[in-house]
Structure 1
Amino acid sequence: MTTVNNRLHAARTKLKKGMVTTMQDTLRAHRLPDDFAARIGWIVRARESVVEARFDPVALPDVLTELAVSDESRQRAVTLQVVQRLGNGIVRCVATSPISSLSPGMTVMSAGREIAMPVSRESFDRVVRLLAASTLAPGTLVPTGIKVVDVMCPLVAGGTLAIAGEWKAGTAVLLEELVRRLSGGTDRISIFTFVPGGGTMTYREMMEREGYSDGTVGAVQTFFFRREEGPWTPESLSTLAGVDVVIRLSQALGQLGIYPTVDPLTSRSRLFESDRESLTRFAADAPAHDVTASRARKLWRFFAQPFFCAEPYTHRPGVAVSVTDALRGCREILDGAHDEVSEQAFYFTGGIAEVLAAAKKTQAP
């Protein structure tokens, strides 16, 4: 009998050790992340597809972060994307999946990663109306000092702007430059930036490395959206009809060395739609002796301009050009007043006076 009891005891001990080992292995495999508690927040406000949630201020989710809300009544999870970080530990989010029954007090969980699913372009107009105040001064131009913006796609006081970014087209650089130039003014601008994917670091990591801002600064408030895959087309740009201005950035222009990479042919402003015919003459197969094509190339180069936020990389001081000087330069170029000036003299400079000074310098013996 003693021998049987001893064997049973040994078997129980062995089984217990095996169960402990199995439980330890299971817990290790499915352990909660160390920052699990910091990823928990709760809804403080919900309005249609826009949700505001509160988190620990020291662990505030970054813009573009994916969040999930458990809609227990419908037994489903609602996916949110952080589009703006506010004060007091609050983030503003947009739903990327159907939403109908979210309410204050519901628990929100941060996935701790950037979202892959973009907000549909079909719902963008509604999101703009919910996030941005209506235009305060219809028809009033807000000068930025950026030639291509002020001439081809001017901003509207109290209005909205969508930056249609492309990979390696300087999306963050243009946004930061606009924030720095406009935040100290009195004309409120709401900027909706479509951020391309494909980078080796998160958007937040890049912003921190460059020292860029990611929220409302003075008169400017910014919202960040993950853009859909594929190039911007006339059809996809037309879905951004809910904003006053669309600035489309072009990787192809960056490859030509034209910065900022604003494409004047596909960017637009509701203030006016300029005649862009001259720029369309700029083509790779345009004859070198074609006067109109030469003027168009000069105009493209004239739109290239040093930025303040890019000074550490360009080693050129940022330049601000008045609307009057920018328009004068464009008119003189298109009228042929500077046909004898080399195309290179127009590149990456300020107003037309600087262009002529650069041309004179290169001609000096």
Structure 2
Amino acid sequence: MYLRSLPRAAKAATAGSSKQLSTSIRSFQTSTARLAPSFSAIQHAPMTSQSQSRGAHAISNPTLAGIEKRWEGMPPQEQAELWMQLRDRMKVDWNEMTLQEKKAAWWIAFGPHGPRAEAPPGEWSKVFLYAMIGVAISGGLFFSIHAFARPPPRSMTKEWQEATNEYLRAEKSNPIYGISSDSYKGKGHVQSPPAKSRGISLEPEDGIARALGKSARPTFARSTITPLRQKAAPAFAQPFARRWASTDKAQDGKIHQVIGAVVDVKFDGETLPPILNGLETDNQGNRLVLEVAQHLGENVVRCIAMDGTEGLVRGHKVVDTGSPILIPVGPGTLGRIMNVTGDPIDERGPIKATKRAPIHAPAPEFVDQATTAEVLITGIKVVDLLAPYARGGKIGLFGGAGVGKTVFIQELINNIAKAHGGYSVFTGVGERTREGNDLYHEMQETSVIQLDGESKVALVFGQMNEPPGARARVALTGLTVAEYFRDEEGQDVLLFIDNIFRFTQAGSEVSALLGRIPSAVGYQPTLAVDMGLMQERITTTQKGSITSVQAVYVPADDLTDPAPATTFAHLDATTVLSRGISELGIYPAVDPLDSKSRMLDPRVVGQDHYDTASRVQQMLQEYKSLQDIIAILGMDELSEADKLTVERARKLQRFLSQPFTVAQVFTGIEGKLVDLKDTISSFKKIISGEGDDLPEGAFYMVGDFESARAKGEKILAELEGSS
């Protein structure tokens, strides 16, 4: 638009200003001889004013105004001369040129027929076509040469091998990893590696296959071409196949670095094993299982060993199993002891199991879970009355060292097997090997494990002498065994984990080995996630249930430590074993005031049960508040009502003790399994005062109230006889 308005703008500028150009219009028909002197004179003429500057040039506004129409009819020589004059004019005084002159210069330079005009339509298509023809010709020559060329030698000659070995021995250099190694012997490492087919299997193989399938390419190009190459290369190369065959297969990984329980494995191929995949290697004749934990880059994965790494060397072959760690499951595991990888450790031969399951599995879907609340009767009075367990729930057994957690769990296993006939899975996580051995033999003595018959329990051990990787995964192994009985056989399974704190502790060690930054008190930053992934798998489904009893070691008896505090969030009931109560000789040393359960609700357990439990806790709390007064002033300073409360509370405290079957060999007292109805009625009688005539000793280590009365009458008779 603005180019077409140039004539009108030129006329308006000529009519409205007295300072327009006064020189005559020089015709473009003049010769070069006439223009040259004039133009030379213009360049050397002094510029005295704006009008002189404009009049000294051979270009005028009327001439420029008609240039758009007259340009195509001008001879090439005149077009060139006009452009040169405009160029020189722009060099000398661009700022003094009029807008019309600038627009004309732009049109001449960049117009449809100017010296800088764009290429005509279709020109770039021709250029692209010619380029593609050249590429096709070059590619054809390349593949033709490779197709009929002699293949490269697969290995060096013997002379070159010997010479290279001698040089490498002198330099103490490892040709595989390129680093200095004093132990390198220079044997067998200089042979050229065979060409890798990267997924293409050709039999026989020829030069075309190498050209299509094994050409060296950058990483980004290789990732793009590989899928197409795998399909196209065999079909294209097979007609030209000749005598050079290849029997190479996809190579496995090799050990790249060993740092304690951490093993780095390097793979040659493009596909790496996913996180949590199991790898296997041979360690001096023993199967060593590794679990992938990190991808470090450059085809290196970092793994955690499930056993000792003593004896591993760099360059050792590692096989990817293609799945997480698989363990045997089913009835064949009952009565047997296995480790974290499912290998038997009880010296009774292989486990007769037809099915195997991965230790890593998702939690059941919400729609598959059952939400009905049902109490699990354990036969232990203090638990059934004050902190009842939920069927399919998670129970935490909190306590310090030496307060009876393991004995409590052993009694639960014995009672559940007798009262309910269900299966149990005991998982020893980071505890003493002696305790596991004692538990195994005690279960044989109590017929929970029958070597020649039907057993009710499966044992999974990863004791405190195991590497952190084994202790961090053995709980998942036991959980996988329990999940099979729940999901496949519809059983109500009791899962014991002793000790869940060791699970957290092992996770902290693994996290430190992997280089993660620790969180509070040195625990791993993924503490909540690790705990949640395991706890969410312990639940009740429409087919069966898993009731978990987890012993929780409390460091320094501090319940605010991150490890027990994180466990609290997942539990339905907490049973706290108190050192103060154990010092009184009351076993099980369950603290009746600190132990809680969400099942202690009148809508679940019934109003009678709830009222009895509340009255027992209230009386014990009143006794606890009066202990300071008794210690300072004595019993005589208490009122009669307080004295009665103290006497009954002390009898209640001793009645909470109970002889265990598993401890019978130590105490000499026969174990008692008390029904819930007898438990409730016995405590109601003590609260109401029916046992006020009996001594406190009558309520220690007995089952129900009738046993306490019989024992009390016997004690009174002995006292009367001695007096």
State the TM-score, normalized to the length of structure 1: 0.61
Which residue does the alignment assign to 2:34?
Answer: none
Deviation at 1:52, TM superposition (A): 8.7
AA aligned opposite 1:208: N
Quote the Cα distance in structure 1 between the aligned partners of 2:338 and 2:281: 6
Deviation at 1:172, TM superposition (A): 0.6
Quote the Cα distance in structure 1 between the aligned partners of 2:278 and 2:413: 23
Q: In structure 2, which of residues 409, 415, 422 is the aligned counterpart of residue 181 of structure 1?
A: 415
- Could you say what secondary structure the match of 1:348 adopts? coil
- 8 Å CA contact 2:382–2:592 kept in 1: the answer is yes
Which residue does the alignment assign to 1:279?
Answer: 620
Deviation at 1:176, TM superposition (A): 0.6
Write 1 or 2 for the structure with the bigger share of helix. Answer: 2
Give 1:1-365 correspondences, 5 Å limit: 69=291, 71=293, 73-74=295-296, 87=333, 130=363, 136=370, 138-183=372-417, 202-210=431-439, 211=441, 214-215=459-460, 219-224=493-498, 225=500, 226=502, 227=553, 229-233=555-559, 236=564, 239-272=567-600, 274-275=613-614, 276-283=617-624, 284-285=627-628, 287=630, 288=635, 290-364=643-717, 365=721
Deviation at 1:230, TM superposition (A): 2.2
Quote the Cα distance in structure 1 between the aligned partners of 2:399 and 2:690: 34
Deviations 1:311-337 (A, max 9, x none): 000101100111111111112212222
Relative to 1, partners in 2 of residues 1:189 and 1:282: Cα closer, same or farther, differing over 3 Å?
Answer: farther
AA aligned opposite 2:578: S
Which residue does the alignment assign to 1:109?
Answer: none
Quote the Cα distance in structure 2 between the aligned partners of 1:55 and 1:262: 47
Deviation at 1:223, TM superposition (A): 2.2
Quote the Cα distance in structure 1 between the aligned partners of 2:274 and 2:693: 60
- 8 Å CA contact 1:161–1:191 kept in 2: the answer is no
Deviation at 1:228, TM superposition (A): 5.2
Quote the Cα distance in structure 1 between the aligned partners of 2:586 and 2:399: 15
Relative to 1, partners in 2 of residues 1:307 and 1:336: Cα closer, same or farther, differing over 3 Å?
Answer: same
Greater RCO between the two (CA within 8 Å, min separation 6)? 1
- 8 Å CA contact 1:346–1:355 kept in 2: the answer is yes
Identity among equivalent pairs (%): 25
Of the two, which has the highest radius of gyration?
Answer: 2
- Could you say what secondary structure the match of 1:230 adopts? helix
Quote the Cα distance in structure 2 between the aligned partners of 1:60 and 1:249: 41
Structure 2 alignment gaps of length 5 or more: 1-181, 184-260, 262-272, 308-326, 342-359, 444-458, 461-481, 486-490, 503-552, 602-612
Quote the Cα distance in structure 2 between the aligned partners of 1:232 and 1:190: 30
Relative to 1, partners in 2 of residues 1:328 and 1:53: Cα closer, same or farther, differing over 3 Å?
Answer: farther
Deviation at 1:177, TM superposition (A): 0.5
Deviation at 1:241, TM superposition (A): 2.8
Deviation at 1:282, TM superposition (A): 3.4
Deviations 1:186-240 (A, max 9, x none): 5979999998x9xxxx523222134356456983222232245221437856851
- 8 Å CA contact 2:376–2:391 kept in 1: the answer is yes
AA aligned opposite 1:278: M
AA aligned opposite 1:206: E
Indicate the RMSD between aligned Cα atoms, in angstroms: 4.6
AA aligned opposite 2:696: E
- Could you say what secondary structure the match of 2:397 adopts? strand
Deviation at 1:77, TM superposition (A): 5.7
- 8 Å CA contact 2:575–2:595 kept in 1: the answer is yes
Write 1 or 2 for the structure with the bigger share of strand. Answer: 1
Deviation at 1:306, TM superposition (A): 0.4
Relative to 1, partners in 2 of residues 1:212 and 1:251: Cα closer, same or farther, differing over 3 Å?
Answer: farther
Quote the Cα distance in structure 2 between the aligned partners of 1:85 and 1:282: 53
Which residue does the alignment assign to 1:7?
Answer: none
State the TM-score, normalized to the length of structure 2: 0.33
Quote the Cα distance in structure 1 between the aligned partners of 2:709 and 2:385: 20
Structure 1 alignment gaps of length 5 or more: 1-21, 24-35, 37-45, 62-66, 94-126
Quote the Cα distance in structure 2 between the aligned partners of 1:242 and 1:159: 9
Relative to 1, partners in 2 of residues 1:362 and 1:206: Cα closer, same or farther, differing over 3 Å?
Answer: same
Deviation at 1:345, TM superposition (A): 0.9
Quote the Cα distance in structure 1 between the aligned partners of 2:375 and 2:659: 22
Relative to 1, partners in 2 of residues 1:47 and 1:307: Cα closer, same or farther, differing over 3 Å?
Answer: farther
- 8 Å CA contact 2:427–2:495 kept in 1: the answer is no
Quote the Cα distance in structure 1 between the aligned partners of 2:618 and 2:281: 51
